[in-house]
Amino acid sequence: MSTETLTLDTDIIIVGMGPTGLTLAHLLGRRGCRVTVLEREPAFYGNARAVYTDDECMRIFQAANMASELEADMNIDLPVQWVFKDGTVLAQFVRADRPNGWAASNFLYQPFLETRMEALLSRYPNIRVLRGREVTLLDQDENGVTVFHARNCGTDYGQITLEPVASQGDEQSLRARYVVGCDGGRSLVRSLLGIKLSGKSFPNPWLVVDIKALDDGECLRHLPYFNFYCDPECPTVSCPQPAGHHRFEFMLMPGQTREHMEDPATIRSLLAKHVDPAKVEILRKLVYTFNALVAERWRDRRVLMAGDAAHMTPQFMGQGMSSGIRDAYNLAWKLDAVVSGRLDDRVLDSYERERKPHAKEMIDISVAMKDFVSMANPLLALLRNAVVRIMLRLPYAGSYIREGRFKPPPTYAPGSYLGLPRRRRSGSEGRPIPQPLMRTSEGRRVMLDNVLGEQFAVIGFGVDPRIGLDARAIETLNNLGTRYLTVYDLGRRPQGNDDRLRSTLPALIEIEDLSGELDRWLRRSGARVGAVAVIRPDKFVFALVPVVELPGAVTELRHQLGLQPSAAPCPGAADRPSCEELLHAPS
C-alpha cells in the first residue's frame, strides 16, 4: 500500500503519561489537535518522584487551563533553607515578587498531581488515552509515523504490583503525523531511534524515604520548610508535601551499603533524628543514584523527545519535572501550527535549539547544588559556611542568594531562538514577558496571558500597534491568529473619540497595567513608551522595537517561520493612515 493512502488515526501520539506527557496532551488538546496518549502502565503506580515546581511551570499550567486546580493540592510559597545539623539556619530562600504571576516555590505530591491532570483530560473529546500499551516499533515515512504497540502485562514496583491487563489480541498499530516520546529516562522511544545519551552518571547513592503522618501531620509541625541539612556526617534533604506527606533523603557515607540503608532498623534510626517513627507510615524506601545526561539529539524526522527522555536532571534544584514541562510548552504551539498547516515542519527544528542549552544549565546548577549541600569534608564545610555568611552580608550578593537568583532564568541562547537578536545584554528577545495583573476595559482584573491568548500577540505600550502595519504585515499576523493590544499605565487610557483608525483594521484590546510592572520591564529592556512587542504563543518575546520598526519585525517573523505571503491585498489598506501620520497627528 502506498504511504499516501495510509489513513491517519490521530494527529499526534504522545508516548508516556508522566507530567511532561500530560502537560503536552493538555496544551495540544486545548488547541484542538487530535491526540492519542500511549502509557505502558495500566494505572499510576502511586510513588512520588518529583516534589517541586516553580512559577514558570505554574504559568504553563495556566496556559493549559489547569493551574488553579493543581495549585489546590500544593504547598505554596514554602521557604527553602540551608540548615545545620541542629536546624540552625545558614540561609533561607524566599522570593516575594511574582514575575510570572504565580508563587516561585510550590511543593507537590506527584500522585495527586498526575491523578488530577489525567482526570482533567476528560474536557477534551479530541484526546484518547490508551493505558497498558507498550510501544514495540516505530515506522516513519514522509507523511507520518506508524506506531506498533502491544499489551503490557503489568510491572512490579517493589511495594506495589499492578495487575496484568487481559490480552486483547495481537500487536496493534496507530498512525499519526508526529510522535513525541515522553516516556522517561529509560525511554523506549529513544532506544528505538538509536539515540545515545551523553553526560555523567554519579555513583553517590542516596536513600529516599517517603512517609505519611498518622496523626494528621501533627508530628511534622516542627518541619515546616524545605531543608537542606548541610551536615558533613549525614547530608540530608527534608521536604514537606501536601496532606501529611513528607520526604527524607539521606546520602550514603563511605562503607554504608544499600542493604544496610534499606534495613527497617536503619530507616527508623535515621528518621528518629527528625520525627517519631512510630507516628508515620513508610510509603517507600529506595537507594538510588542520579544522572546528569542529555540526549545527543531530540528529533528524528517525525519523532521528537521531551522530558527525561531528552534530558535527566539531578533532583537537587527540583528541576527535572519542570524542565520537561518547559519542553512541552515550547513544543505544543509549534506542533499545533504544523499540524494545522499554518507553519512548515522546519519550525520544529527550533525546539531542540531553544530548549537544550537551558536544560543543560539546569543540570549544571543541580550538580553544583548537590556538591554544595553534600560536602562531607568537615574543613571544606566550615569554609563553605563562612563564605555563605560573608556573602549574605553584602547587599547584592545577599539578595542574590536569598531570592534564589542563581537558578538559570528562562533565557534562550543568542542565535538559537525564533526572534530578533538582542540589541543589548538586558534585551527581552528570547525571554518571556512578565505576567502582571491587568485591568480590562470592562474593569475586570485578569492575568496578562489570559488576554494575550494562545497564538501570537502584538502589544503596543501606550501606542496602537496596528498603525504602522501594511497589508502584507496584517495578513501575516492575521494568518497566525494574532491579537492586538495596547497597554497603558493605570489611569492613562485616552478619553474621547478618535476615528482616524478605520474599522477595517483588526480588533484592538486596551488594558491597563495595575502595578506598573510592564513599564519597569520595558525600561529594563532598554525600550520606552511607544515600543511594540511581538509575543510568541509560549509568551517569549520575538521582538521589542519602536512602532515604526514593527513592519520590519513582521517581515523577519515571516522569514523565520518560513511563511509565504499571498498576493491578496488587505481590505481598506489604501485608506489607512500611515504610521508617521498617526504618530505626529494632534491629540
Question: Across the strands, what pairs with 458?
Answer: 484, 534
Residue 523, pLDDT score: 93
Boundary of a domain, candidates 320, 337, 371: 371
Q: How far apart are the first and last CA of the chain?
A: 68
- Using alpha carbons only, give the angle 233, 48, 257 rounded to the nearest 5 degrees: 35
> Is 275 in contact with 220 (CB distance < 8 Å)?
yes
- pLDDT tens profile 99-136: 999 999 999 999 999 999 999 999 999 999 999 999 99
Q: What is the CATH number of the domain that holds 57?
A: 3.50.50.60
Q: Are residue 315 and residue 462 in the same domain, yes or no?
A: no
Residue 567, pLDDT score: 37
CA-nearest of 401, 248, 237, 253 to 316 is 237
491-495: list long-range contacts, CB under 8 Å, 24+ apart: 492/462, 493/441, 494/587
Q: Are residue 328 and residue 458 in the same domain, yes or no?
A: no
Question: Across the strands, what pairs with 107?
Answer: 52, 75
Q: How many CB atoms lie within 10 A of CB 106?
A: 23
Boundary of a domain, candidates 322, 343, 371: 371
Strands 226-229 and 52-53: unpaired
- For residue 507, what is the DSSP state? P
Q: Is 83 exposed, middle or buried (0-12, 13-18, 19+ CB in 10 A)?
A: buried
Crossing angle of the two packed helices 395-402 and 378-393, in degrees rounded to 10: 110
Dihedral (CA of 482, 412, 350, 424) sign: positive
Q: Are residue 157 and residue 299 in the same domain, yes or no?
A: yes
What's at 547, amino acid-wise? V
For 572, residues 6+ apart whose C-beta sits below 8 A from its C-beta are 502, 503, 504, 505
Q: Are residue 493 and residue 361 in the same domain, yes or no?
A: no
Residue bearing cell 499550567: 61
Reported as a pLDDT band with limits 50, 70 and 90, residue 474 is very high
> Is 224 in contact with 240 (CB distance < 8 Å)?
yes
Domain count within the chain: 2
pLDDT mean over 3-29: 88
Q: Are residue 354 and residue 472 in the same domain, yes or no?
A: no
Residue 159, pLDDT score: 30
Within-domain flag for 81: no
Q: Which domain holds residue 187?
A: 8-74+101-197+294-371
CA-nearest of 87, 316, 80 to 204 is 316
Q: Are residue 450 and residue 557 in the same domain, yes or no?
A: yes
CA-nearest of 197, 122, 183 to 149 is 183
What does the alpha-carbon distance between residue 526 and residue 424 come to, in Å, rounded to a whole number?
A: 8
Does position 58 have pLDDT exceeding 70, yes or no?
Answer: yes
Q: Are residue 165 and residue 69 in the same domain, yes or no?
A: yes
Boundary of a domain, candidates 339, 371, 403: 371
For 243, how many CA atoms within 13 A lie in the half-sphere containing its CB?
A: 10
Does position 227 have pLDDT exceeding 60, yes or no?
Answer: yes
- For residue 196, what is the DSSP state? -
Within-domain flag for 29: yes
E-only strand ranges, 519-574: 531-535, 541-546
Q: Are residue 559 and residue 470 in the same domain, yes or no?
A: yes
pLDDT mean over 235-259: 92
Within-domain flag for 364: yes
Within-domain flag for 82: no
Instruction: Tell me the three cell numbers of residue 266.
Output: 536503619
Residue 428, pLDDT score: 94
Q: Considering the chain, what is the average pLDDT of its residues? A: 88
Instruction: Tell me the three cell numbers of residue 483.
Output: 491579537
Does position 565 have pLDDT exceeding 70, yes or no?
Answer: no
Which phi-psi region, left, alpha or beta, contains residue 292 (left: φ > 0; alpha: ψ -120 to 50)?
A: beta
pLDDT mean over 175-193: 95
Residue 102, pLDDT score: 95
Q: Are residue 188 and residue 315 in the same domain, yes or no?
A: yes
Q: Are residue 358 and residue 444 in the same domain, yes or no?
A: no
**DSSP element (H, E) containing 55:** helix 55-63
What's at 58, amino acid-wise? M
Residue 444, pLDDT score: 93
Torsion of CA 322, 325, 330, 333, to 10 degrees: -160
pTM (two decimals): 0.90
Within-domain flag for 520: yes
Within-domain flag for 430: no
- pLDDT tens profile 139-168: 999 999 999 998 875 543 333 233 333 344
CA-nearest of 95, 309, 281 to 192 is 309
- pLDDT tens profile 401-430: 888 888 889 999 999 999 999 988 889 999
What does the alpha-carbon distance between residue 451 and residue 462 come to, in Å, rounded to a whole number?
A: 17
Within-domain flag for 60: yes
More confident of the two residues 568 and 301: 301
Dihedral (CA of 464, 468, 470, 473) sign: negative
Question: Across the strands, what pairs with 305?
Answer: 181
What's at 327, amino acid-wise? D
Q: What is the CATH number of the domain that holds 543?
A: 3.40.30.10
Q: Are residue 162 and residue 49 in the same domain, yes or no?
A: yes
Q: For the chain, state the CA radius of gyration.
A: 26
Does position 370 have pLDDT exceeding 90, yes or no?
Answer: no
Residue 154, pLDDT score: 53
3-state secondary structure of 158: coil
Q: DSSP H helical segments within 282-394, as ranges?
A: 320-339, 349-373, 378-393
Within-domain flag for 119: yes
Residue 45, pLDDT score: 67
Does position 500 have pLDDT exceeding 80, yes or no?
Answer: no
Residue 68, pLDDT score: 96
- Among 255-259, 316-320, 447-451, the range scoring the smallest mean pLDDT is 316-320
> Is 237 in contact with 247 (CB distance < 8 Å)?
yes
Crossing angle of the two packed helices 55-63 and 19-30, in degrees rounded to 10: 40
Question: Across the strands, what pairs with 251?
Answer: 206
Altogether, the residues listed in the chain come to a count of 587
Strands 106-107 and 127-131: unpaired
Query: What's 463-479 look like in SS3?
Result: CCCCCCCCHHHHHHHHH
Does position 518 have pLDDT exceeding 90, yes or no?
Answer: yes
Query: What's 517-554 look like in SS3?
Result: HHHHHHHHCCCCCCEEEEECCCCEEEEEEEHHHHHHHH
What does the alpha-carbon distance between residue 76 and residue 434 come to, in Å, rounded to a whole number?
A: 20
Question: Across the strands, what pairs with 303?
Answer: 179, 300
3-state secondary structure of 113: helix
- pLDDT tens profile 30-44: 999 999 999 998 887
What does the alpha-carbon distance between residue 556 and residue 347 come to, in Å, rounded to a whole number?
A: 14
